[in-house]
Amino acid sequence: MSFKGKNALVTGGRQGIGRACAESLAAEGANVTVVDLLDCNETINAIATAGGMAEQMTCDVTDERAVVAVFEKYSFASNQLDFLVHCAGIIHECPLLETPVSDFDRVIAVNLRGTFLVGREALRCMSRAGSGRVILTSSDLAYYGRETFSAYVASKHGVLGLVRSWAIEFGPSINVNALCPGPTDTAMLDADNMTPEWREKELDIPLRRFGRPEEIARMATFLCGEGGAYITGQGLGVNGGSVMP
């Protein structure tokens, strides 16, 4: 596939799945804007070294004014947004009875409010153009839950609600889907330092390993291409079979 002349915006692009998505889209020829709370110099340099085109913006996705400002600047520069891949997010593990409401609020703010704000502004841009692809990031945990992860699971289940609602509201011209990764070998998972109990979870996955960021990115890239033209409103598991809904 070729995305030459297409414009993509990727959040959470400093590392992990977000960085892999930015690099994958750029490798297919898209002009990529990488957004993160911190600088994305390594991502930008990697894309440039591979011959791709990318720029970066910093933004706190929980800040409405900051998110609106990013899209106002983006629209002024490119006039069209073809792809949004929203990967910005945090993880949280804590037994419910020990979880302060401030922790719950923070997880919801980043993972759900941030998704709402970024998705809303992306869809505003795409609606003007009459086309686009929106790919959000949920989780395999959104399908079955897990002890000590209730705040995180609630936030990711909420993302699926946004996907299903937006797919109906903005069809037929705009496709909206979510990636639902299983455990993926990123800094967020911190596989090198995980407990033996967590390491044993690899054995519960039919493919007997954690995913790699580039494997998740391939699905995002597929959804942006012609292969994803008839897919919308879905949470797509890229999880080695850890969940089979």
| Residues paired with residue 9 on neighbouring β-strands, in sequence order | 33, 84
DSSP 191: G
Pairing of strands 174-181, 235-238: parallel
- Cβ neighbours of residue 114 under 8 Å, at least 6 residues apart? 11, 61, 62, 67, 86, 88, 89
Please say whether the beta carbons of 11 and 37 come within 8 A. no
Go through 77-111 and write b for each residue having 16 or more CB atoms within 10 A of its CB, e for each that does not. ebebbbbbbbbbbebbebeeeebeeeebebbbbbb
Catalytic positions, written as ranges = 152
- Say how far apart CA 41 and CA 34 lie, in whole Å: 10
